[in-house]
Chains A and B, each alone.
Chain A
Amino acid sequence: MSEAIIAKYPLFQRLDDVCTIADYLLTQGANDLEEVTDALISMCMTYPEHVVETGLLMNVEVLAASLKPKNRSHVHAHFMAIQKHLHDITDQMEAGKPLVAHFPSMTPEPFIAMDLAYMCAEQLSLYLVGALTDGVEEILDASEADGIPGHSCGFQRAPFKAMETGQLPMPDMFMCTTAPCNSSNMLYQMMMQRYDIPMFVCDSPYYWNDRSFDYFKEEYKRCLQGISELTGHTIDVDVLRERVEMSNRQLQYMYELQQLRRLKPNPDPGMHRAMDLAAWLMAGSNEECITYQKMCYDEAKARADKGLGVIPEGMKEIRTLHTYGWTAHFLSFPDWLEDELGSTELECGLSIYPGELVGLVDTTSLDTMLDGLAWRSFNAVMHRTVMTFSDLHIQDMVSVATEYDAEVALFAGNNTCKWGWTYPKMLTEALQDNLGIPCLTWETDLMDKRFRSPEDVKEMCREFFNTVRMSEA
């Protein structure tokens, strides 16, 4: 790890601190906040000041949820993975390797195989918003004062303003896709124009079919080629193979875990869904990612073998489909749903990578690997989900609802998500009319907790689940 680089960028330091804290607090054998108090106090007295500062900002609800036996081990494993990832990229940066910032629609094996430094800025800010109470509201306000519209998506707005103010490193190039939306396109272009940063864009087709995939994979390869020419780094096929084999192993666990969620009771806790996306974005980076995903799978499998679920004893399970996705500033939401309302999370629109659809990458040759990786991107969350007239995503959600036997659906739509609000009425109609599934829809902000507070969301959900229960009776 490069301490110098981490210290240079405040949000890198924050993130490293969060991981350090997680490593300490989640390995004390403490099951709740009370039991971890002594360790917390000890941490304040013995750890460096910047760690303690970060510690004081920790989202207490997320910490409490992370300490629970059903969540603790794999949450810890996840933060070890992200810390390793952070250390690896800062090492690369210190060694002078060019830094590519990529959109959350691709996995990083090719960048690793080109011996580059890489980061997904959106993924990094997710952790900061999720783990810390001071989130990114100040950064979002600064962005708005700068003239960036407040109704553009915070997912880019926050990390880009952080780059502009030196809190995150400014990359040497961008790689992104035109999917999902105007907001991401506009913001990436703004960064390109303001700072003269080369941008490699895969033109995402509108339709989802063989012809459009043939087009897209050429786009994907063209962008990687461009990065290669710009940096003078070429893909080392052996390294690529090694990394793809790693990501294949990681994703294999992810796919098997999805199958377990079809069981009754659902043996998989929902809080790590957002972390699954984050892990996907690091697929192939390190062994720790595989350890994380395997742990999630092993724990769920152990429960499944005993017919156990994840909600309190005596509560009736309500199998819940999250048709939009998670809310970054309210990561503890799925855990709260489980323990308060018996609502278990089946899948979510922002972390669903259907195994049989996305598939594992054929490692035979460079061509098969690039094709396989392009197929992964093509079908990634925020790519596949936005293609055609939303009927693809709606159909996916209906399939999951049917196959996993969903009983209710929640749509926690990001208010700045241009794509997200085009389809929820059609989706709820499909779920309600065809499958008789009650749906609750609300507006929130992915990153900014001031828009709708977690307390408001909890009130709404209590009312909804109470109403559904009474309805059934």
Chain B
Amino acid sequence: MILGVDIGTASTKAVLMDDSAIAWQCKIATNANPEAAVAAVLSALQAERTVDRADLEKVVVTGWGQNEVADVAKCDTVASVVRGALWNTPSARTVLCMGAQESLVVSLDPRGRVLGYARNDRCAAGAGRFLEIICEPLECSVDATAEVASKADRKLQLSTQCAVFAESEVVSLVNDGESVANIMDGILGTIARNVITLCKKVNKQEDFVVAGGLARNERILRTLQDALDVRLHRFGPEPEYICAVGAALAGGRS
């Protein structure tokens, strides 16, 4: 049994892999403290499955916080994403993982070798935080956004790409009497477009795996599907766990 822990900027996801199956999973807030997050995961594993650190063949850490944790194996984020994608879809040629602050798209050759990848560089447009930020003035939970947007009756185009300026634009739109549904739909469209721009930096081909928190959002998926013109496979059973799974299977760097 190997524990894979993906320490993201917002949340830490962990999976216990037994052979190649997910035996247990958990997700907690990282709170900017990677060591504490890993400790919390191990505690939860003990409490819920009575599995101790000593019972594990390995603990492999990946994601943003990996450098801050001692006494664990480490796996680069790109390698984790790829390994997780191939576990889900052995024929994967492109992988998109949309995180809280970082979106990453990777292109693979027919044998699953990495050919190239791209990330959003210095800019939060197209990241999960963007959605979180505007959910506040719209008083909507992140999980409900696609549902809310589905009731839109008008196409809105926001004038800004920036997550920070979008917040004020949303407030103005609300004040101008625009419906929350239309605004939400406009925002989701903006986020999707930013992600699509990122995807164009690599050679996107089928089969295309989508993962990360935003992959739960049907409105974003639909926009991606239409724009990229490839069949999308959402990482399952839950899209946030792609890196944790991949890290556990990859087993860490030598």
Q: Does B114 contact A (CB under 8 A)?
A: yes
Contact status B76-A463, CB under 8 Å: yes
In the complex, which residue of chain A has the Cβ closest to the Cβ of B110? Answer: A436
Docked complex Cα distance between A440 and B115 (Å): 8
Contact status A470-B79, CB under 8 Å: yes
Contact status A428-B116, CB under 8 Å: yes
Contact status A467-B82, CB under 8 Å: yes
In the complex, which residue of chain B has the Cβ closest to the Cβ of A466? Answer: B76
Docked complex Cα distance between A164 and B233 (Å): 59
CB distance from A435 to the nearest CB of B (A): 10
Known contacts: A425-B201, A443-B121, A470-B250. The answer to whether A438 contacts B116 by CB under 8 A is yes
Docked complex Cα distance between A425 and B198 (Å): 13
Inter-chain contacts of B83 with A (CB < 8 A): 470
Contact status B79-A467, CB under 8 Å: yes
Contact status B116-A440, CB under 8 Å: yes
Contact status A432-B116, CB under 8 Å: yes
In the complex, which residue of chain A has the Cβ closest to the Cβ of B114? Answer: A471
Contact status B203-A433, CB under 8 Å: yes
Q: Does B229 contact A (CB under 8 A)?
A: no
Known contacts: A466-B79, A467-B78. The answer to whether A441 contacts B109 by CB under 8 A is no
Q: Does B239 contact A (CB under 8 A)?
A: no
Inter-chain contacts of B25 with A (CB < 8 A): none
In the complex, which residue of chain A has the Cβ closest to the Cβ of B78? Answer: A467
Contact status A436-B79, CB under 8 Å: no
In the complex, which residue of chain A has the Cβ closest to the Cβ of B83? Answer: A470
CB distance from A319 to the nearest CB of B (A): 16
Q: Does B151 contact A (CB under 8 A)?
A: no
Contact status A463-B116, CB under 8 Å: no
Question: Contact check: which of A425, A443, A466, A472 meets B113 at CB < 8 Å?
Answer: A472
Known contacts: A425-B201, A463-B76, A463-B78. The answer to whether A438 contacts B115 by CB under 8 A is yes
CB distance from B109 to the nearest CB of A (A): 5
Q: Mark B172-198, 1 if CB is under 8 A from A, else 0.
A: 000000000000000000000000000
CB distance from A90 to the nearest CB of B (A): 44
Contact status A436-B78, CB under 8 Å: no
Q: Does B103 contact A (CB under 8 A)?
A: no
Q: Does B107 contact A (CB under 8 A)?
A: yes
Docked complex Cα distance between A438 and B112 (Å): 12
Inter-chain contacts of A429 with B (CB < 8 A): 203
In the complex, which residue of chain A has the Cβ closest to the Cβ of B108? Answer: A471
Number of A-B residue pairs, CB cutoff 8 Å, is: 53
The secondary-structure label for the interface of chain A is: helix
Contact status B114-A467, CB under 8 Å: yes
Question: Contact check: which of A425, A436, A443, A466 meets B115 at CB < 8 Å?
Answer: A436
Inter-chain contacts of B116 with A (CB < 8 A): 428, 432, 438-441
Q: Mark A452-473, 1 if CB is under 8 A from B, else 0.
A: 0000000000111011101110
Q: Does B253 contact A (CB under 8 A)?
A: yes
Chain B residues numbered 95-126 whose CB sits less than 8 Å from any CB in chain A: 107, 109, 112-118, 121
Residue in A425, A462, A464, A470 whose Cβ sees the most chain B Cβ within 10 Å: A470
CB distance from B233 to the nearest CB of A (A): 20
Contact status B203-A436, CB under 8 Å: no
Chain A residues numbered 190-206 whose CB sits less than 8 Å from any CB in chain B: none
Inter-chain contacts of B253 with A (CB < 8 A): 466, 470
CB distance from A54 to the nearest CB of B (A): 34
Docked complex Cα distance between A440 and B117 (Å): 7
Q: Does B77 contact A (CB under 8 A)?
A: yes
In the complex, which residue of chain B has the Cβ closest to the Cβ of A443? Answer: B121
CB distance from B108 to the nearest CB of A (A): 8
In the complex, which residue of chain B has the Cβ closest to the Cβ of A425? Answer: B201
Docked complex Cα distance between A354 and B22 (Å): 54
Known contacts: A425-B201, A429-B203, A432-B107. The answer to whether A468 contacts B114 by CB under 8 A is yes
Contact status B203-A471, CB under 8 Å: no
Docked complex Cα distance between A429 and B115 (Å): 9
Chain B residues numbered 199-254 whose CB sits less than 8 Å from any CB in chain A: 201, 203, 250, 253
Known contacts: A463-B76, A466-B79, A471-B82. The answer to whether A436 contacts B109 by CB under 8 A is yes
Known contacts: A432-B203, A438-B114. The answer to whether A471 contacts B79 by CB under 8 A is yes
Chain B residues numbered 76-94 whose CB sits less than 8 Å from any CB in chain A: 76-79, 82-83
Inter-chain contacts of A472 with B (CB < 8 A): 113
In the complex, which residue of chain A has the Cβ closest to the Cβ of B115? Answer: A432
In the complex, which residue of chain B has the Cβ closest to the Cβ of A424? Answer: B201
Docked complex Cα distance between A269 and B253 (Å): 26
Inter-chain contacts of B82 with A (CB < 8 A): 467, 471
Inter-chain contacts of A433 with B (CB < 8 A): 203
CB distance from B245 to the nearest CB of A (A): 15
Q: Mark A96-109, 1 if CB is under 8 A from B, else 0.
A: 00000000000000
Contact status A438-B113, CB under 8 Å: yes
Q: What are 26 A-B residue pairs whose CB atoms fall within 8 Å in the complex?
A: A428-B116, A428-B203, A432-B107, A432-B109, A432-B203, A436-B109, A436-B113, A436-B115, A438-B115, A438-B116, A440-B117, A443-B121, A462-B76, A463-B76, A463-B78, A466-B253, A467-B78, A467-B82, A467-B117, A468-B114, A470-B83, A470-B253, A471-B79, A471-B113, A471-B114, A472-B113
Q: Which 9 A-B pairs have the closest CB atoms?
A: A432-B115, A471-B113, A467-B78, A463-B76, A470-B79, A471-B114, A467-B79, A439-B116, A466-B76
Q: Could you list which residues of chain A lie within 8 angstroms of chain B, going by C-beta atoms?
A: 425, 428-429, 432-433, 436-441, 443, 462-464, 466-468, 470-472
* Known interface pairs A463-B77, A463-B78, A466-B253; 15 further A-B residue pairs with C-beta atoms within 8 A, sorted by A's residue number: A425-B201, A428-B203, A432-B109, A432-B116, A438-B113, A438-B114, A462-B76, A464-B78, A466-B76, A467-B82, A467-B114, A470-B253, A471-B82, A471-B112, A472-B113
